Chain A
Amino acid sequence: MIYVLKNVKHLCTAQQTDATVRKAAVKKSKVGLINMKRWQYLLKRLMPLTALMVLVLSACGREDLSTLNPQGPVAQSQLELMKISIAIMSIVVVVVFAICIYVVVRFRRKKGDNTIPKQVEGSHKLEIIWTVIPILLLVVLAAATLTRVYDLSRDQRDNPDALQVRVVAHQYWWEFQYPELGITTAQELVVPKDKIISITAESADVLHSFWIPALAGKIDTNRTGNVNYMYFEAPKTGVYLGKCAELCGPSHGLMDFKVKVVEQSSFDRWTVSMMEPSALPQDTNIAAVFESQCLACHAIDQQSPSAYPNLKGIGSRESVGGILINVEENEKQYKYEDTIYNNLVTWIEYNNKNSERDVSIKPGNHMLDTYSLTKEEIEGIAEYLSELKVDF
């Protein structure tokens, strides 16, 4: 059994291109080679059937969001598995549909036809055919699945080359801790490109699920006791959309986050900048209100504890509250897209005690009604926060 598994592993990993895997592929056994040929042969046979579908699939969706447009090796490997399963399943669908259409057209009862068809009991030969062929098809799929199950569950938590990140999910925001760097941030996971990012996932309250469709499949964040881990890599810089994928309350669908992939040098600048303390607002009134109202729950540096999202560098983030998207004044296109200043005003006003909420930006979030600010104070704080930036 183990021997078979090893061969199976070889034949599948040979399809991948990253360096570590290539090394493993060199060790291919003779049997592995034969299997590989057979497998490739099978895939070739399937290609005409599925080429169109795969073409359509791989062209679909936003680059920063779609599982069909993977931007990293983990999502790439998952898409390959999807394609293999789609290819195999296409055979089944085509065969069944073909027989079905043929039968339905060919054996329709003509009007007034009273003949009694031959009552066939069955056929052992046919039964064996449609038992054995599916089993063979499933063996191929099982092999491709099992190698990936093990490959994608590699524990990177003690890999010295990986960047360790602890993800803590909250109703309805994401906390990202970098234990090696002493940094805690929220809503936006900043990572260097081409590095293995090792995720340790937990939840502070209910179940959530950590998902970056374009980079890697999801992992649930459980409450204390069932800590999960996963990893991903991003070879291209850019901003990727992340989502919560487990029902966690009214704002489940609004619990978005971003993954910002930057150059290593840029990441290094960011880590230094994140550790610097931030100054309070210059206006003493705003500073006083900000300290008494906002800093009761939030922090603006890495030195103070922060029960709710740490605001250090909020002026450089892609969104406010995870859901209001920051864009330049002239780039506004959709609802919830606005400048960071306007978004901050909207967000702080929305959560303000007794505010008239004609739009539910994030219903049920814990910031609702926890403070009472005047319009001037809100604008002053928004002004200050929009300038609270970090270097990249």
Chain B
Amino acid sequence: MAHAHAPVKRYSGLMDWLTTVDHKKIGILYLMSGAFFFLVGGFEALLIRLQLIYPQLEVVSAQTYNELITMHGTTMIFLAAMPMLFGFMNAIIPLQIGARDVAFPFVNALGFWTFFFGGLLLNISFFVGTVPDAGWTMYSPLATNEFTPHHGTDYYVIGLQIAGIGTLIGGINFLVTIINMRAPGMTFMRMPMFTWASFITSALILFAFPALTVGLAALMFDRIFEGNFFNVANGGNVVLWEHIFWIFGHPEVYILILPAFGIISEVVSTFSRKRLFGYSSMVFATILIGFLGFMVWAHHMFTTGLGPIANGLFSVATMLIAVPTGIKIFNWLFTMWGGSIKFTTANLYAVGFIPTFVMGGVTGVMLSAAPADYQYHDTYFVVAHFHYVIVGGLIMGIFAGLHYWWPKMFGRVLNETVGKITFVLFYVGFHLTFFVQHFLGLLGMQRRVWQYLDGMEFNTLNFISTIGAFLMGIGTLLFILNAASSFRKPKNASNDPWEDGRTLEWTISSPAPEYNFAQTPLVRGYDAWWKEKMDGKDKMVPAEPIGPIHMPSPSILPFFMGVGLFIAGFGFMYMNDWGTIFGARIGLVIGIAGLLTLLTCMLLRSLIDDHGFHIEEDEILKDQGVKA
């Protein structure tokens, strides 16, 4: 191995963030942009709740209201929840498996930038004034040119398509990373639960996202190139979109929740000072949930008119998912059973997650009974159900993860007192907002309604719901405050700040050095770090001597590839609007220019040899000397 002393390209400041291929920094980028979009989506939610606080209000117009519900759903799922999870997956998985980075660092950066520019494109629609308004499910024919003549749907289709590329390559990257880059001794059945859950999630992404890609492409053809996939007059079919969307959409739910399950497993186990109960059955249950997740999409379509055979089969298949989910719930409870439970903020979220998620789960089973679903479907009962699962499940999991891994990511511990106040506000607010919505649905209030008439017995419950939403809003702001003020503290978190850490990320400094592990650790069992601690060791057994570490070079290309796609999407969208220049359509010219930017970057990436650089032994030793 020749490590010639080539000039080491290391940027600082903004340039560092734009060019980084370091999984830890990309994780932070994902987390920050996810949090930003979470605030945007949350603001939209508050406007929605404000419109519904009293009957027959006109806080926002009916058109704006539909734009808000559409963008709230789309933003929260694709631009807030997924990126925040990707943030954790990036920041933590390589550390948990004892790797120095992900398998494809360049692709990792590309994934982030395509997600970011896709999300940006989607939200620019607010400034242009044509916002997606056909619901996050974008059902045809409402989303087609005939009924949405403005560009709203185009922003959705193209924005999500670009963001989707990022998700797909991110998923592939994690699959390869987890399969190939585990430290010696880290067998599959010794992997931490979060890594396992992310592994399954990545597999789900691999199989589910192509369905979305195809669906979006078909809708794009219909809208921009006069295709006929969903045009009934020319032989298209509108139910086709529902199928394609939910073949992606249902696994998406599990893509979101499985990593949250993983986080909860880590947090509960750590703060109970106990090994995860029934680890192998947890792994099995996760795989089963992922598998069954592909078999149940039509339960979103019980009222579409698929007939009794389909409705019956999908009912029963959906009920089955309750079994592996139940296994997970009981395993968490029995992890705590006999443990020594410490209620840090992270653990409050994790323990609070369990009953909340159970409530979301049981309403899920209720919804799976098709004939009863004929009543629940598209009412506030459904809204309550999926918010219990996504906010009460996923967002709780993310908050738990944020408090738990904050020191590992930033070297500082979040303020526990503020954290606990935040938890109470958010938790109470959450249940106030969504518990009453079950009853609104049962009393006959359908979802996505801009107004409801007075005298329908909806008033009190809607009022309570809005109050709850604002409590959640205050809770979120308090968290942001806590996070921001933590950066004013010195970076003094120890390697294992919770003292009960069990997995490999707690064996290295907080935050981790650029190369993660000075020496790749040797893993001797499940809960590798805990095992060493119990054997009286204070560090892992290294699997290699200290030596120069090969690192990938930073690159600005992924950023410009994102920019190229952004420009291309923008141009093609307005292909038919913007007149011509020298006989060529301006939109088309801009679109092609964007694609050329992308292709040029790809060419540069292919032609220029980049062997990366090495971090030399003396630098590593110096790091260790300072940090030890």
Interface segment, B21-29, B320-328, B390-398? Answer: B320-328
Q: Is the CB of B56 within 8 A of A336?
A: yes
Query: Does A122 contact B279, Cβ atoms closer than 8 Å?
Result: yes
Q: A233-256 toward B: CB 8 Å interface, digit per residue (1/0)?
A: 000000001011111111111101
CA distance A120 to B343 in the complex (A): 21
Q: Name the A residues within 8 Å of B375 (CB-CB).
A: 67, 75, 78-79, 82, 213, 217-218
> 6 smallest A-B Cβ distances: which pairs?
A217-B374, A253-B449, A228-B305, A122-B278, A250-B62, A89-B362
Query: Which residue of chain B lies nearest to A212 when distances are taken between CB atoms in the complex?
Result: B444
B-chain residues with CB within 8 Å of residue A214 when the two chains form the complex: 444
Given contacts A77-B371, A336-B453, contact A207 B139 (CB under 8 A): yes
- Complex: A7 Cα to B582 Cα, angstroms: 76
Interface bits B46-61 vs A (CB < 8 Å: 1, else 0): 0000000001101001
User: Counting CB contacts under 8 A, is A86 at the interface?
Assistant: yes
Query: Does A55 count as interface, using CB distance less than 8 angstroms?
Result: no
Q: Is B108 an interface residue (CB 8 A)?
A: no
State A218–B397 Cα separation when bound (angstroms): 35
Residue pair A249, B365 in contact (C-beta under 8 Å): no
* A333 contacts chain B at the CB level, 8 A cutoff: yes
Q: Do the beta carbons of B142 and A62 come within 8 Å of each other? A: no
Q: Which of A145-153, A266-274, A293-301, A305-313 contacts B (4 or more CB under 8 A)?
A: A145-153
A252-B449, A253-B448 known; A68+B442 contact, CB < 8 A: yes
A201 to B358: give the CA distance in the assembly, Å. 37
**1/0 contact trace for B138-181 toward A, CB 8 Å?**
01011000010000000000000000000000000000000000
Please provide the chain B residues from 340 to 354 with a CB less than 8 Å away from any CB of chain A in the complex. Answer: 340-343, 351, 354
- Which B residue's beta carbon lies closest to that of A83? B372
Contact between chains at A93 and B358 (CB < 8 Å): yes
In contact, B355 and A100 (Cβ under 8 angstroms): yes
Q: Is A3 engaged at the interface, CB distance under 8 Å to the other chain?
A: no
Q: Are A96 and B305 in contact (CB under 8 A)?
A: no
Q: Are B454 and A335 closer than 8 Å at their CB atoms? A: yes
A-B contact pairs, 30 of them (CB 8 A): A62-B456, A78-B374, A79-B375, A85-B366, A85-B372, A96-B329, A96-B354, A99-B330, A99-B333, A107-B341, A116-B273, A123-B278, A123-B334, A127-B281, A131-B327, A138-B320, A148-B370, A149-B311, A150-B312, A219-B303, A219-B305, A226-B239, A229-B305, A243-B444, A247-B66, A247-B134, A247-B448, A333-B455, A335-B56, A364-B63
A121, B369: Cβ atoms closer than 8 Å: no
Contact indicator B139/A247 (Cβ below 8 Å): yes
Interface string of B355-391 (1 = CB under 8 A from A): 1001100110110111111110111000000000000
B337 adjacent to chain A (CB < 8 Å): yes
B280 — which chain A residues lie within 8 A by C-beta? 122
Instruction: Tell me the complex Cα distance, A161–B150, Å.
Output: 48
Most buried by A among B142, B275, B371, B454: B371
Q: Are B448 and A219 in contact (CB under 8 A)?
A: no
A43 within 8 A of B: no
Interface size class of A (residues with CB under 8 A): 35 or more
Q: Nearest Cβ in chain B — how far from A202, in angstroms?
A: 10
Contact A135 B323 (CB under 8 A): yes
Please, how many angstroms separate the alpha-carbon atoms of A138 and B319 in the complex? 7
Q: Which of A113-167 contact B (CB under 8 A)?
A: 113, 115-123, 126-127, 130-131, 134-135, 138, 141-142, 144-146, 148-153
Tell whether, in the assembled complex, residue A104 and residue B378 are in contact, meaning their CB atoms are under 8 Å apart.
Answer: no
Bound Cα distance from A248 to B142, whole angstroms: 7
In the complex, per-residue mask of A345-361: 1 if CB is within 8 Å of any chain B CB, else 0: 00000000000000110
Q: Would B232 and A118 count as touching, CB distance under 8 A?
A: no
B339 contacts the other chain (Cβ, under 8 Å)? yes
Quick check: is B274 within 8 A (CB to CB) of the other chain?
yes
Q: A109-B341, A248-B142, A254-B450 are in contact. Are A78 and B444 (CB under 8 A)?
A: no
Cα distance A223–B233 when bound, in Å?
A: 10
Is B316's CB under 8 angstroms from A142's CB?
A: yes
**Chain B residue, CB-CB nearest to A227:** B305
**Does the CB pair A250–B450 fall under 8 Å?**
yes
Minimum CB–CB distance from B504 to chain A (whole Å) comes to 18
Chain A residues contacting B354 (CB-CB under 8 Å) are 96, 100
Any A CB within 8 A of the CB of B87: no
- A75 nearest in chain B by CB position: B375
Contact A253/B305 with A107-B340, A134-B322 known, Cβ cut-off 8 Å:
no
Is the beta-carbon distance between A153 and B273 smaller than 8 angstroms?
no
Which residues from B are CB-within-8-Å of A142? 315-316, 319
From known contacts A225-B237, A253-B450, infer whether A109 and B342 are also in contact, taking CB-CB under 8 Å.
Answer: yes
- Is the beta-carbon distance between A145 and B448 smaller than 8 angstroms? no
Asked whether, in the complex, the Cβ of A86 is within 8 Å of the Cβ of B377, the reply is: no
Cα A141 to Cα B277 in complex, Å, equals 29
What are the residues of chain A within 8 A of B362 when measuring CB–CB? 89, 92-93
> Which of chain A's residues 54-68 have a Cβ closer than 8 Å to chain B?
57, 60-62, 65-68
B307 at the interface (CB under 8 A from A): yes
A126 to B308 Cα, complex, angstroms: 36
For the complex, is B272 an interface residue (Cβ under 8 Å from A)?
yes
- Given the known interface contacts A60-B443, A250-B62, the answer about A107 and B337 at a Cβ–Cβ threshold of 8 Å is yes
Q: Which residues on B sit within 8 Å (CB–CB) of A323?
A: 453
In the complex, the answer to whether B238 meets A57 with C-beta atoms within 8 Å is no
- Nearest residue, chain B, Cβ from A229: B305
Question: Nearest chain B CB to A105's CB is how many angstroms away?
Answer: 10
B338 at the interface (CB under 8 A from A): yes
Which chain B residues (470-517) contact chain A, with CB distance < 8 Å? Answer: none
Cβ-closest chain A residue relative to B530: A119
Across the interface, A243 reaches (CB within 8 A) one of B307, B439, B446, namely B446
A60 is contacted by which of B336, B374, B439 (Cβ under 8 Å)? B439
Q: Report chain A residues within 8 Å CB of B378.
A: 209, 218, 245-246
Contacts of A201 in B (CB 8 A): 305
Assembly CA distance A103 to B455 (angstroms): 45
Chain A residue numbers with a CB within 8 Å of B450 are 250-254
Do B442 and A67 have beta carbons less than 8 Å apart? yes
Given contacts A99-B337, A150-B308, 11 further A-B contacts (CB under 8 A): A82-B372, A116-B534, A152-B374, A206-B141, A207-B238, A218-B377, A219-B374, A226-B237, A252-B449, A253-B62, A334-B453
A225 near B232: Cβ-Cβ < 8 Å: yes
CA A250 to CA B304, docked complex, whole Å: 21
B135 within 8 A of A: yes
Checking A65, A77, A126, A216 against B330 with a beta-carbon cut-off of 8 angstroms, the contacting residue is A126
The answer on a CB contact under 8 Å between B370 and A120 is no
Q: B341 and A104: CB pair below 8 A?
A: yes
Any chain A CB within 8 A of the CB of B610? no
